[in-house]
Structure 1
């Protein structure tokens, strides 16, 4: 399980500069406001973000903040937007499966960098119709579709691959970040995971897998999942060349 950032006092952000009496100076921009919001969420979580606290972090009156983001929902959407903007896809890569692996690894790294933002990455885009989402959120979708159609997949199959990949990624990072260990100092894996609470006769498989569950490796688990996912897609989708063979995968 990844370790979440520790709580720290608010610090000055790039959106404005605090003066000696606490008031803000300099130009306040939407980018600066969202950077301050991301900093708060990274440090303290979504529940601790409020428009008043955001205004304090930027060093301005809350009404100044509302000129750039109309409400908290817009702030949450903006946080997801600036994190998704860090996810890059090369639609010209001739190795489609290798590029998807690179995207998956990059998404996991972003999630580990911003663990408290992950719920927003998974849920906020779905709260907005596709055509109304920020371009930074839609860009990875477009680029992955371009990558796959350039490789020869049909548009429908490319969309299927995208959905399968990100459905897997969302589940993986949520599992990696939220899996809890009941007794971290316990050496017995069954006790460490709290599996002793489950009746032996009803949950023999979980108890038998206690050593595997206790030695969870997020990076290795991601690679194994990608092996299964990409191989399965390649085995069931038509070859991009249209000759009826399955698509190659690395």
Structure 2
């Protein structure tokens, strides 16, 4: 069956954080994340954040100089939750675990996924916050310790996260138009497509209606990691 992760997380009524609670950058960013979870990126503004924190919005600029910096901080908050063990001698097993951890974060914060995919592209590596780079550092260390050259380690990282980002965007897209329908063609709204122009797409309604994100990830990872290990085998350590 199709996995239908919740795309909206309810946000507490104002204020999320009261006057009696001191705030710091972590509190500001976690509150911004809660707003994005509940209302999307478009719902986040300094004014909105100020209301949630019961603070004058102008006081928040000491924690983020503008909305762009705030969004970068939210990405950092999420990515810092991604656990990577660079000392694991089973590099494939560790990357498998990291992939599932990344997917879990994406399903918990679907409104943040576009930021995870696009925000890093807006800033050169050397200017990014440390929290957005620690998982990269740990994965490169994992792969170099496994015997891969630095070049191959970077290639593997890019291949794995390119696949992960694409998979997650596919998994989170709205597929079902009418959940109450029992006919897959109607459930997905594919009956609207002219049969003469889209015979193959219409014929695959049942296949698409029973999409399993976890199974799709598992199959893709198996193919990708096996292919990477074959194409660029590590020079030492057990592959």
Structure 1 and Structure 2 fold alike (TM over 0.5): yes
Q: Matches of 2:146 and 2:14 in 1, distance apart?
A: 47
Per-residue deviation, 1:168: 0.8
In the other structure, the counterpart of 2:188 is 193
In the other structure, the counterpart of 1:110 is 105
Count of aligned positions = 235
In the other structure, the counterpart of 2:38 is 43
In the other structure, the counterpart of 1:170 is 165
Q: Matches of 2:167 and 2:85 in 1, distance apart?
A: 23
- Cα displacement string for residues 38-68 of structure 1 (whole angstroms, at most 9, x for unaligned residues): 1111111111111011011111111111122
Per-residue deviation, 1:84: 0.3
- Say if 2:188 and 2:205, in contact at 8 Å, map to a contact too: yes
- Cα distance change on mapping 1:100 and 1:11 into 2, 3 Å: farther
Per-residue deviation, 1:115: 1.2
Moved more, 198-207 or 148-157: 198-207
- Say if 2:11 and 2:34, in contact at 8 Å, map to a contact too: no
Provide the TM-score with structure 1 as the length reference. 0.88
Q: Matches of 2:9 and 2:94 in 1, distance apart?
A: 33
- Give the gaps of 5 or more residues in structure 1: 19-23
Per-residue deviation, 1:7: 4.1
Structure possessing the higher relative contact order (Cα contacts under 8 Å, 6 or more residues apart): 2
SS of 1:27's partner is: coil
Q: Matches of 2:149 and 2:74 in 1, distance apart?
A: 33
- Cα displacement string for residues 223-248 of structure 1 (whole angstroms, at most 9, x for unaligned residues): 011011112212222x2127xxxx84
1:1-250 map, 5 Å: 1-13=4-16, 17-18=17-18, 24-237=19-232, 239-241=233-235, 248=239
In the other structure, the counterpart of 1:21 is none
- Say if 1:2 and 1:176, in contact at 8 Å, map to a contact too: no
Per-residue deviation, 1:144: 0.8
RMSD value, Cα: 1.7
SS of 2:141's partner is: helix
